[in-house]
Each structure stands twice: as structure tokens, then as C-alpha cells.
Chain A
Amino acid sequence: MTQRNDRICGVLLLVLAVAYGWGATQFPEPFGGAESVGPDTFPKVLAVVLALSSLYLIVKPDPDNAWPTGRIVLELVIAVAVLVAYTLLLQPLGFILATLLAVGTLCWRMGAPPMRAYVTGAIAGVVVYLLFTYALNLALPLGVLSVLEGS
């Protein structure tokens, strides 16, 4: 069993600790002059704690967990992409359509038959929209569907 994960993580965190600690030394002096405890004191303590614990991780790593490979990595990337796209589309496309697409795609990628997946997405979108708009009085963006509202 390899122990690379923890080592790599330890190195990255060590770099972070140094950068963070260095950042703390660059803070401008607060208004009212230097105090015994300034804005930099606590961050410096944290940088030291993080540096020490990441060093420990490098020296004594735990055995690795298996990382996903191939297809599953792709699925994970798709899932994150769907979430980002959901955020992007929420305003322009409106809540109901964006939810239909996002929930539908996620269900489908997780193994549901496409038809049922998108139907689930549509139902979820409409139900939550109605719930928020009429029961909770909160506005969710209606987006392109707002043409229906006028009629």
C-alpha cells in the first residue's frame, strides 16, 4: 500500500502554511499603532500549527484510499460541471428549467433511465418553485418561462 496521498497533501499544506504565514507578516500596521497583539498574531500561530501538522503528515502518512479512475472521474467532473452550469443558468433560464436540466442530468448520470430522470427533474423544479413562490412567498427566478406569467 502506498502512502502518497498524505505526503502530497502534507507538502501542499506546508506550502499553504508558509504562504499564509508570510502573508501575515505583510499586513499593514493597524490604525492606532502597533500593539502587542495585532492582526498578524493569530494567523502566525495558525501557520505554525499547520506547518507542524503537515510536516507530521509527510513523515508519518496514513495508507492511501483508492482514488477513482477512468469513468468515475469523468462522472465526478460531469457532476461538478452540472452544478456550475446550474448556477450559471439559474438566472437566465429560470429556476424551473434549470432545475429540470440539472436534477435530470444528475439522476440520469447516477443511473436512472433518462426519461424518468428528467421527469423527476421537472417535478422537483415545479414543486419547489410553487412551494417557494406560494407557500413561502420567496421569489425564485422564472427566466424564460416568465412569458407565461403575463397570460
Chain B
Amino acid sequence: METLGYLIDGFGVALAPHNLMFALIGAFLGTLIGALPGLGPANGVAILIPLAFTLGLPPETALIMLTSVYAGAMYGGRISSILLNIPGDEPAMMTCLDGYPMAQKGKAAEALAISAIASFMGSLIATIGLILLAPLLAKFALTFGPAEYFALFVLAFATLGGITGKNPIKTVLAAALGLMIATVGIDSTGTQRYTFGVLELYEGIDFIIAIVGLFAISELLFFIESRAGDGKGPMKVNKLTLSFKEVREIMPSSIRGGVLGFIAGVLPGAGASLGSFIGYTLEKKVVGKKGYFGEGDPRGVAGPEAGNNGASSGALVPMLTLGVPGSGTTAVLLALLISMNITPGPLMFTQNADIVWGVIAALLIGNFLLLLLNIPLVGIFVRLLSVPPKYLLPIVTMVAFVGIYSISNSAFDLYFMVAFGVFGYFLRKLEIPMVPIILGLLLGPEMEKNLRHALDIADGDWTVLWSSGLAIGLWVVAFVGLVLPYIVGPILRRRMNAARQSAE
């Protein structure tokens, strides 16, 4: 019941007119970003973070806007899947399977509407799950000591590669690099570390700059290399004729997909790809021979879309309660929190209750906004899809520049951002994941603090790190999280590809 009270307070925050307005802006921009092929939710949120800063938004407003961007981007991803047969990101792949055939049959509007409804259901279910689960997890996490926290951070890194991550050692490597970058600057004892006397480095490296460089600038370079995107134009969208019966028909698929997606999102490392994949496979199993999957079955659109969106809201659970993000985009959101001097984790639920519950309420409201926005306005998003990326990406890059510039007015930061962009390009070429680097940058200081604490209490005895049952449990999960993708990842990827090929 305590939760309910907080939630009502949260609605008070989220329904404040300016917060509502920023939620609407965020939802619109997010859908736009998600709809554009090549720009995923992580990039989108990364580009908009500097803007949130320059606007001088209070933390809850900034967070509300960016969670709306996040939710919007997950919504928008389906538009390019259905109309272009180009998944905006990996989780959107499953939506192509039946979404594109539906569009080919002249039912693009129905496919878009169904996917919007399913996305809504998925997010709604997951948000309710978040409301129920998050306070419990936060309460549990209050029992963590420094050693448990240290193990938890290791777990975060270990599972970050996710099931679709390729080489787990590269995840470890990337995490180490990120943590190393985090040690640059003056540490808590006043020692200068790796500053080489450069004044700009005394404060450490600003992770916003690193994030924007790694995501936005490297995207531009990658696009130049691949020159992708100048393919066919989007499908024509017919007039929407969706009957109540059809909506009722896809409801069970949406609910199943949403629940599965939420679970996949909460589990560390599983994420939205798994959410949409199991959402789709379950539909195929449940419906069986009566379905016509791969040929434009609406349930094949609803299942994965609900799963995808359920997972993205689910991923907020570990991020908010433990301060451990489950995906790239939640890592970027975490960056926002930390840079606003809010330490995510169990204490946030007591110390910054208004923010947490404001954001959760905003997520609920955002979903309604997105549904309202998406069904009538789908035409606008479709028209924007026909803007070729060769015009779009330079403008996006410029927006990133302006954002960073207006935070600090420093050319040094901009050079640094470009350098991170080039670095990011090489990392992507070498298939070294970038998210662990970001996470290393973000969690580095906290991780080191907890390590010091734990060792200080134990007089420098390293075994303290695995001395409690809870800590051992976390280490075991971390280990499994690191090794499991090695085994499950190739299978999942193969199945996703096989499903895609057999549909073509």
C-alpha cells in the first residue's frame, strides 16, 4: 500500500504540465529516432542527453523526457521494420517477419496499428511489473554491503554482453578499458592519476562526451563506410480499417509477449532481443497450425512487439533498484542520473522517491501518449522515413556538437568527442562492444569506492569479496552470465536468422 501512495505522488510529479509537455516531446522525438533506420534507442537517448542539460531541466523532468524518448524509440523501431523490412535494431528483427508481409498485402496501416497496440500492452504490463517488483528488489538490495556491491558491479559487466553478445572476453576487455578511463583524474585521496598534467583532465573524463562520441560520431563514420540506406522507399500506407474483433484477436498474443518480455528484460543480460524472439516463438507454438506465420499473421506482429517493449521497460528494474543497467540504453539513462548527482540504487527509492516514482508514473503516462500519438500520426513518421540518411546523419551529428558545446563552451571537449568517435569506429570494427566501456566509465568510481570500503573493513584481506553467501551467489551469477552467452548466443542468433530466412 505504501507503493500506491508513492505512485500517486509520482503521478503528481508526472502530470505537472511542463513534465507532461516534455514527456510528449520525448515520445515524439523518440518515435522519430526509432523509426529511422540506423538510429537505435541508445544513440537517440545519447544524442538528446546534452540537450536535456543545456535546457537546464530539473532531474525529474530530464529523466521523464528521456524515458519517453526511450519508450518512443522502442515504439518507432517497428515502423521501419514493417514498411522497409529494415529492422532499426536487433530486437526489431522479429517484427519484420510478419509485419513486412502484411504491408506487402496492402495492410500496412493495420500492421502499424496492431504493433502500436501490442507495444502499448507490452509496456503497460512491464510497467505494472516494474511497480510491483522494483520496491521489493530495492528493499532487498539495502542489505548489500560493499563486498556485495562490488560483486554486483562485476555481475553487471559480466551479463552486459547479453545473450546476443559474441565474444565474452571482448566484453571483459571493454569493461576494463572503460574502468581505466574512469580512473583518470584526481581520486578520493587527492592523488592525480593519469592526468599528465593536463588541466582539463583533473576533473576526469566527462562520460557524456564519451557517450555522444562513441554512439553518435561513430555512427556517422560507420554510415560513410557502409553507404547503406539508399535502398527502396517505404511501402504505401493504406487507410486504416481495424475492427474491434481484430484487436481482440491479438490481445492474448500481446499479453503473453508482454509478460515474457518483462521477464527477459529484468534478467540481467537477456534484454529486448530475447524478449521479442521468445514473444514470437511462443505465438507460433500457441497458435500452431492455425496461424500463417511469416505470411503476415497479425499475431506474429503483436507477440514480438509486445515482448520487445516489455523487455525495455523491464530493463529499468535493475537499473533503478540496483544501479545496474541491463541494456545499452538503460546505461545511457544511468549516465544521466549520475551526472545529475543522483546515485541510482536502493537508496534512491527512499532518498529520491519523488524522482523514481515520478519517472515510473511518467512511463505509464508516456505509454498512453505514445498510443494516442502513434495511431493517428503514423503518417508523419512514415513521411519522415523517406528523408535519406545522407541528409539526416550530418544534421544529427551537428545536434550532438551543439549539445556538447552548450554544456561547456569548450573546444577541448569537442575534440575529445571526435576522438571518442574515431575510437568507437575502431571498436565496432573489432567487434568490441561499446556499452561495457560506457558502463565502466559510469560505475568505475562507485566500484572502486566499494572495493576500498570492503578491503578497509577486512584489513586488506581480499577473500572478503566472496565471504558472504549473497556475494558468492552474485559471483556465480556473474560467471554464468559471462559464459552462458557463449553457448546460448550462437543458437539464438542462428534461430533468429533461420526464422528470417524461411520467411523470405
Binding site for B on A (CB under 8 A): 5-6, 9, 13, 20, 23-24, 27-28, 30-32, 35-39, 41-43, 45-46, 49-50, 53-54, 56-57, 60, 62, 65, 67-68, 72, 75-76, 79-80, 83-84, 86-88, 90-91, 95, 99, 102-103, 106-107, 109-112, 117, 120-121, 124, 128, 132, 136, 138, 140
Of all A-B residue pairs in the complex, the 3 with the closest CB atoms, nearest first, are A36-B460, A106-B394, A30-B189
Contact stretch, chosen from B219-227, B261-269, B295-303: B219-227
* B183: A residues at CB distance < 8 A: 42-43, 46
Closest B residue by C-beta to A49: B176
A106 lies within 8 A of B460 (CB): no
B446 to chain A, nearest CB (A): 11
B220 lies within 8 A of A79 (CB): yes
Binary interface encoding of chain B residues 149-164 relative to chain A, with 1 for a CB under 8 A from any of its CBs, else 0: 0000000000000000
B455 lies within 8 A of A39 (CB): no
A87 lies within 8 A of B191 (CB): no
* B176: A residues at CB distance < 8 A: 46, 49-50, 53
A76 to chain B, nearest CB (A): 6
Binary interface encoding of chain B residues 410-452 relative to chain A, with 1 for a CB under 8 A from any of its CBs, else 0: 0100110010011001000111100000000000000110011
Q: Evaluate whether A49 and B194 lie within 8 angstroms (CB atoms) in the complex, with A5-B430, A79-B224, A80-B422 already known.
A: no
Interface CB pairs A-B, < 8 A, 7: A13-B173, A49-B176, A53-B172, A83-B421, A84-B415, A110-B227, A128-B399
* A53: B residues at CB distance < 8 A: 169-170, 172-173, 176
Contact stretch, chosen from B338-346, B401-409, B495-503: B401-409
Excluding A23-B194, A27-B191, A136-B54, 11 further A-B contacts by CB distance (< 8 Å) are: A9-B430, A36-B459, A39-B187, A41-B451, A43-B180, A53-B173, A67-B429, A79-B221, A84-B415, A84-B418, A128-B402
Residue in contact with B398 in the complex, picked from A88, A99, A117, CB distance below 8 Å: A99
Binary interface encoding of chain B residues 383-395 relative to chain A, with 1 for a CB under 8 A from any of its CBs, else 0: 0000011110111
A143 to chain B, nearest CB (A): 13
A138 lies within 8 A of B224 (CB): no
Assess whether B230 is interfacial by the CB under 8 Å rule: yes
Interface of B is mostly: helix
B418 lies within 8 A of A103 (CB): no
B418 lies within 8 A of A83 (CB): yes
Q: How far is the CA of A66 from the CA of B491 in the complex (A)?
A: 25
Residue in contact with B406 in the complex, picked from A35, A36, A83, A132, CB distance below 8 Å: A132
B137 to chain A, nearest CB (A): 27
* B399: A residues at CB distance < 8 A: 128
Residue in contact with B451 in the complex, picked from A32, A42, A121, CB distance below 8 Å: A42
* A46: B residues at CB distance < 8 A: 176, 179-180, 183
* B104: A residues at CB distance < 8 A: none
Closest B residue by C-beta to A72: B225
Residue in contact with A38 in the complex, picked from B189, B394, B401, CB distance below 8 Å: B189
Interface centre among A80, A91, A128 (most CB of B within 10 A): A80
Assess whether B476 is interfacial by the CB under 8 Å rule: no
* A132: B residues at CB distance < 8 A: 402, 406
* A84: B residues at CB distance < 8 A: 415, 418
A103 lies within 8 A of B451 (CB): no
Assess whether B190 is interfacial by the CB under 8 Å rule: yes
* A109: B residues at CB distance < 8 A: 224
Interface centre among B55, B217, B401, B459 (most CB of A within 10 A): B401
B117 to chain A, nearest CB (A): 34
B173 lies within 8 A of A91 (CB): no
A138 lies within 8 A of B180 (CB): no
Q: How far is the CA of A10 from the CA of B223 in the complex (A)?
A: 26
Closest A residue by C-beta to B389: A110
* A76: B residues at CB distance < 8 A: 221, 224-225, 425
A69 to chain B, nearest CB (A): 10
Assess whether B397 is interfacial by the CB under 8 Å rule: yes
B220 lies within 8 A of A106 (CB): yes
Question: Which residues of B from 332 to 389 have beta carbons under 8 Å from A?
Answer: 388-389
B167 lies within 8 A of A62 (CB): yes
* A117: B residues at CB distance < 8 A: 391
A66 to chain B, nearest CB (A): 9
Q: How far is the CA of A41 from the CA of B459 in the complex (A)?
A: 14
B190 lies within 8 A of A86 (CB): no
Q: How far is the CA of A110 from the CA of B224 in the complex (A)?
A: 6
* B230: A residues at CB distance < 8 A: 111
Assess whether B472 is interfacial by the CB under 8 Å rule: no
A49 lies within 8 A of B172 (CB): yes
B161 to chain A, nearest CB (A): 13
Q: How far is the CA of A120 from the CA of B397 in the complex (A)?
A: 14
Residue in contact with B180 in the complex, picked from A50, A56, A80, A91, CB distance below 8 Å: A50
Q: How far is the CA of A62 from the CA of B171 in the complex (A)?
A: 13
Q: How far is the CA of A106 from the CA of B224 in the complex (A)?
A: 9
Assess whether B282 is interfacial by the CB under 8 Å rule: no
A27 to chain B, nearest CB (A): 5
Assess whether B249 is interfacial by the CB under 8 Å rule: no
Q: How far is the CA of A46 from the CA of B388 in the complex (A)?
A: 43
B455 to chain A, nearest CB (A): 5
A35 to chain B, nearest CB (A): 7
